[in-house]
Amino acid sequence: MKILVDVSVYVLNERLHQLIREAAGGEHTVVFPRSQEEIIQTGGDAQVYFGNCLEETFPYLTQLKWIQSHSAGMDAQLYPALKNSEVVLTSVAGVYGSHAAEHAFALLLGLTRDIKGAAVNHTKHEWRKPNQLIEIGGLTLGIIGLGGFGIHMAKRGKGFDMRIIAVDAYRQDKLDFVDELMPIDQLPELMRRSDVVMIACPLTEETYHLINADNLALMKPTAYLINVARGKIVDEPALIKALKAGKIAGAGLDVTEVEPLPKDSPLWDMDGVLLTPHVAGRSQHRVRRAAEFFCENLKRYLNGEPLKNIVDKQLGF
């Protein structure tokens, strides 16, 4: 069997190369192509692919049985040819959850503690105190989606003494650190009650513009919206309108509808907005954790055991 490990985007060090070779065993061939051209040249007889297989590359990999993506969100992977194929797709959902949750709280604290304003004053060498700072302990954190990202957000929110409520379309078991779990049709109730709303659901046809003008209108004028999931879950023009009108206190956005965010977007210049360039899933551990997860799944695949994180290609996660 040939196993293709795409290192054209995420470079693996030699220790991780060796870890993958050991997981594959001596009877299987592991190839580490460094470009899409190399993938096409070497991948025609590959059965396993580790990486994000591009739509233009997929038709050349005619023997593929399984793709282990190194992404948590699958919206960019579910192009028609892969979606309609027999190839099994697995994600790394949950592997980056701790990174994303920390980033979500970095955005929240950046807003509530006015770190953005302090940074601006820093560059000006000005010692200027803000008019108001917000303590998040005791506030209600509403989490949309209680999967990998959402669980880690809930744990950290509980550590800040927040009340945790969540909605999820599929999960029914309420975890100990979640005060209340509701079905997804109770999203308006979550929007009304939350002091902070964090988005942690995948982007699918059902969640596109899930956070729209109607749901934003339900939020408290003192509430914050935090998005480290996918930009298209939020109706961005509606969010901009709500921010301009003072309908919500602010937004922390690691993702936007169009990336990079256009230079003429009003979001750049809004006082109540904190932006980062889609980096919530990154950390010094990202590549290693993804490779280790692949190795665990590869051993399962070779032993005929069920794979972890199999994606329902029709549902989108």
What amino acid positions are annotated as catalytic residues? 230, 259, 278
Beta carbons within 8 Å of 309's beta carbon, 6+ residues apart: 90, 91, 92, 93, 94, 297
Tally: H helices and E strands in the chain: 10, 12
Please tell me the distance from the alpha carbon of residue 74 to that of residue 83, in angstroms, as a whole number: 11
Q: Is the dihedral of CA 228, 230, 231, 232 positive or negative?
A: negative
**For 95-129, b where at least 16 C-beta lie within 10 A, e where not — what string?**
bbbbbbbbbbbbbbbbbbebbbbeeeeeeeeeeee
- C-alpha angle 51-55-56 in degrees, rounded to nearest 5: 110
On whether the CB atoms of residues 189 and 215 are closer than 8 A, the answer is no
Distance of CA 238 to the CA centre of its chain: 22
Please tell me the distance from the alpha carbon of residue 208 to that of residue 216, in angstroms, as a whole number: 15
**Residue 271 corresponds to which tokens in the numbers above?**
């006082």
On whether the CB atoms of residues 90 and 114 are closer than 8 A, the answer is no
CA distances from 236 to 115, 208, 276 (A): 24, 11, 16
Please tell me the distance from the alpha carbon of residue 4 to that of residue 42, in angstroms, as a whole number: 8
What's phi and psi for 234, nearest 5 deg? -105, 135
CB atoms within 10 A of CB 250: 22
